[in-house]
């Protein structure tokens, strides 16, 4: 992952509602969750949730697929791994104080 993509991903996660959305989607695994469910889960309005979902999707951290009337969102674990790998390796030169944490 290149620097600009990493910056977007970091910015996407640096927000309470979005971090909660991501955590929720992680727990939902491959099944994912519909926008409406996410909205309820994180206690945010539909439009606010939609905005944050777009931000996460633009950053490549989640994917959207339509299923009938709902739109299902899922975590892109590879993108998360890409971002974290950048931080650990490119940024922190795989310093042991960093790598031991994972």
Partner DNA sequence: CTCCTATTTCAACTTTTGTTGAAATATAAT
Partner DNA sequence: ATTATATTTCAACAAAAGTTGAAATAGGAG
Alpha helices in the chain (DSSP H): 3-13, 16-28, 35-42, 46-58, 77-85, 96-99
Q: How far is CA 82 from the centre of its chain?
A: 12
Tell me the number of residues near DNA by CB under 7 A: 26
Instruction: Report the residue number, 67 or 102, with the smaller CB distance to a copy of itself.
Output: 102
User: Alpha carbon of 93 to those of 5, 8, 89, 102: distances in Å?
Assistant: 19, 21, 5, 15
Residue 63 binds which of a copy of itself, DNA, none (CB < 5-8 A, kind-dependent): none
- Tokens 């990493």 correspond to 6
Q: Does 5 bind a copy of itself (CB under 8 A)?
A: no
39's contact among a copy of itself, DNA, none, with CB below 5 to 8 A by partner kind, is DNA
Q: Which stretch binds a copy of itself (CB under 8 A): 20-28, 30-38, 49-57, 62-70?
A: 20-28
Which residues make up the interface to DNA (CB under 7 A)? Answer: 11, 14-15, 17, 34-37, 39, 45-55, 64, 66, 68-71
């Amino acid at each position: 992952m290149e620097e600009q993509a990493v910056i977007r991903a970091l910015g996407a996660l640096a927000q309470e509602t979005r971090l909660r959305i991501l955590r929720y989607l992680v727990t939902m695994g491959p099944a994912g969750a519909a926008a409406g469910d996410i909205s309820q889960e994180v206690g945010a309005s539909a439009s606010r949730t939609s905005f944050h979902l777009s931000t996460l999707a633009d950053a490549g951290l989640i994917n959207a697929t339509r299923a009938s009337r709902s739109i299902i969102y899922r975590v892109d674990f590879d993108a998360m791994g890409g971002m974290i790998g950048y931080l650990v390796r490119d940024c922190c030169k795989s310093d042991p104080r960093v790598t031991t944490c994972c």
